[in-house]
Every structure is written in C-alpha cells, then in structure tokens.
Amino acid sequence: MHAYIKKTLATVIERNPGEDVFIQAVRDVLSSLQPVLDQYPDLKEKSILERLCEPERQIIFRVAWEDDKGKVQVNRGYRVQFNSALGPYKGGLRFHPSVNLGIVKFLGFEQIFKNALTGQDIGGGKGGADFNPRGRSNREIMRFCQSFMTELSRHIGDTIDIPAGDIGVSQREIGYLFGQYKRITNRYESGVLTGKHFDWGGLPGRTEATGYGTVYFARAMLKARDESLEGKICTVSGAGNVATYAIQKLQQLGAKVVSCSDSTGTIHEPAGIDVDTLRQVKEIERADLSRYAQMRGGSTYLPDEKPWSIPCDIAFPCATQNEISGDDAKALADNGCQLVCEGANMPSTDEAIKIYRQKNILIGPAKAANAGGVAGSALEMAQNASRYNLSFSQVDQRLQEIMEEIHGNCCHYAAKFSDPDDYIAGANIGGFLPVAQAMIAMGTI
C-alpha cells in the first residue's frame, strides 16, 4: 500500500472510532488509488486524500415530535455535507433505526464518487434519522417530518444542499418535508428536494430510476462480453423501490427473477416474481413478505433467510449495506452466479469481494451500478430549474444513456490504471479524479 494512502487511512481510523462502515468505504476507495498517486504526485502535495476523507460539515440535531397518544418522542437527525467541489451537496435521507453518524458518513462519502460518475454538477452528501416509519400512522410520520425539516431547513437550498429519499423516505415523506420547508421559508423552491411526486414538480421515472439504472448497468457489462440478459436467472434482495423496479426491468428485458426479500425473510418463486403482487404487499398493504406467499401459490417464503443460496446467473443485492457476507459469496459461487450487480450501497463485505475475485465473479460496484437514482435526481433538478417537464420516455432514454456513459468511464479508468475487468477500481478512480481536480483548481478550502 502506498505510504500516503496508509497514513491517510490510519488518520481516518483514529478520528472516527467505531464507525466501521465509514472506514470500510474509505478503505475501498483509497485502495484503488495507488496508480493514480504515482501519476499525479500533486495530489499528495495538496493533501487531497485528507481533505476528501473529512466532511466539509456535519450536522446533528434533536427531532422532538408528538405521537398519536400525545407522548413526545425524541429522535436524532443528521446531515453530512461531505464535498461540494463539483456542485451543491446531493444525497438522500434515510429514516431507519440503524441510522447513526457513521452510516450517514459512509453513505455521504460514497455519494461523492457516485455523483461524480454521473457527469452531473452535484457534490456529495447524505442525511437521515434513527426514526422508524414502519408501524407509524400517516399523521405521526407527518409530525416527525415537520419537526425534522424545521431544523434541516436552515442548512439546505437548491444551490446549497438538495436532499432526496432513501430507505424509509418515499414520496409520502418527501411531500411532508417539502410542505414544511415551504411553510417555513414562504418560498415554492421546488428544486430543494428531489423524489417528489410528478404531479407537483417530481420527475416521471424517478421512483424507478435506481432499479432501472442498476439493470441498465448490468446489461452494459454483459453487452461488453457479447451477452445479454435474455434468459438469465436472477436473484434480487430487497423489496423496496430499488428491488421492485430492478425486478420489473429485468423481466421486461427477458430475464427471470426468482427471489426478493425483506427484513423478515425471502420469497423464492421459480416461475418468476410477480411485480404487481409485490407492490400490493409492500406499497399498499405495507406488510411483510409472508403476505406475498399467501397471495401467490407458486412461491415459497423462507423466514430469516437471504436469497443467496438460490441458484442464479446474476445476483442483484438491492437491500442494504454489507448484506452479502463471505459465506453468502461462497454460496453464490457454488450455485452458479457469474455476475453481482449492486443496487444497494456497499452491499458486499470486504470478504465477499475477495471471494468474488477468487471465483472470477464479475462485480458491478454500487458507486456505478446504482447511480441511476441520483442521475434521475439531477434530471429532476434540471426540470425544476427550467420549468420544462420531461416525459417518462425521455427520462428513461436519458437514464440509459447515462448508465452507458458510466459503464464506459469505468472501463476506461480500469483499463488505464488497473485490470480492464476491475469495475471497482474503474468506478473509484473515475469518480475520484474529477473531484480531486476540482478541489485543486479551487485552492485550499
């Protein structure tokens, strides 16, 4: 390991005790950069790595709100504005009990490079709260969102920081957040949040963009090898927007998706997952996947299990970080998996990535493969700024083009600095260089 990388990583570990996923994300990026540092020694002279690994701003705040029983609940809110070298901070809000500062920093750090890969003028940031919308009434969620935005509104704006949705934050939550922002500021600043409903400033296709984009990236990887998705057996984890629309697009392109999952277990349906039933269960009934099995006779519900032991050609982890362990990766290899395309943020552990490489499983890393969501957000920002509404077909066409461009950039930087098949290095370097060059151009800030 390059001495500069080793020193920077040691500093990150010392400054961020207990923030394991953030340190994992930093290590993943820095480990790809040795050939870049060899070619561009001024990166060390300008302390780019140290500056890049330290957020520009970290905001932590109390969120007090009243539940339906009249009891005041207290949660903790976060916004990490990580890097604005390429544009205003851009990244989602996650509402989930697991949210803490380390997770938000990991997500914000990843967002820097993901956003850079899209070629759009957006920096990296992330936020959220340790609030769980599951089981809460609409009025409780509204009151929480209003309290959360009362503080967050001080720190965001359409040229400052533009949040979006993530786990636990859908169009419903974005609506409540935007309503409170409008109430506080007395401005209809539609570009301050993305992921809005298309009836009032949202982008047709934004909900589908992350899942669709992940599939488009996998298609590009296969096309580069004279293959297609037609006839491929795919396993998908998750049952939220990313997973649902990845399943939908895979089936439209001729693949067969035989699994989905949530925190309670996995559905295995050899004939193929039915997207309409999945949406009924998760979006309308807001039930767990055991309900799906009750509605679909040909499916099997596997409680407390992941989908990675189900035979497949391609796996699409679309749930959460570090969901594929080393043992899961071995199970994928033993069951014929040839490609893992990551729809979630950093879903593979370090051990899993080692196994992929040992078993010659091709990896579509999350920075590149799930960048369709933020690409869609950038299109929504452009739509809001121009007040010219795009159609679903226009958005989908542009999304395909962006994902092809990201794939091309990954291949270019992988071939230039590493192995042509090393999409991880290609994504890391392709995301890093534009940010580093912009930071140098702007001086010491």
SS3 352: helix
**Per-residue pLDDT reduced to its tens digit, 315-329:** 999 999 999 999 999
Side-chain half-sphere CA neighbours of 102 within 13 A? 15
Confidence of residue 2 (pLDDT cuts 50, 70, 90): confident
pLDDT band at 445 (very low <50, low <70, confident <90, very high): low
pLDDT of residue 231: 97
Identify whether 282 is a catalytic site residue. Answer: no
Instruction: Report pLDDT for 138.
Output: 96
Predicted confidence at residue 144, as pLDDT, reads: 98
pLDDT in tens, 326-362: 999 999 999 999 999 999 999 999 999 999 999 999 9
Q: What percent of the chain has pLDDT over 70?
A: 100
Per-residue pLDDT, averaged over 363-379, amounts to: 96
Q: Which one of the listed residues 105, 126, 282, 306 is annotated catalytic?
A: 126
What pLDDT does residue 43 have? 94
**Average pLDDT for residues 73-98, to the nearest whole number?**
98
Beta strand pairing status for 89-95 and 161-165? Answer: parallel
pLDDT in tens, 279-323: 999 989 989 999 999 999 899 999 999 999 999 999 999 999 999
Q: Pseudo-torsion of CA 187, 206, 401, 346, nearest 10°? A: 110
Coil, helix or strand for 125?
A: strand
Looking at the predicted structure, is the pLDDT value of residue 83 above 90? yes
> What pLDDT score was predicted for residue 370?
96
Burial class (CB in 10 A: 0-12, 13-18, 19+), 137: exposed
Domains and CATH numbers, the chain: 1-54 (no CATH), 55-188 (3.40.50.10860), 208-369 (3.40.50.720)
Position 1 pLDDT exceeds 90: no
The helix-helix angle for 206-223 and 372-386 (nearest 10°) equals 130
What contacts 263, CB < 8 A, 6 or more positions away? 288
Q: Report the sign of the C-alpha dihedral through residues 261, 265, 270, 275, in that order.
A: negative
What pLDDT score was predicted for residue 162? 98
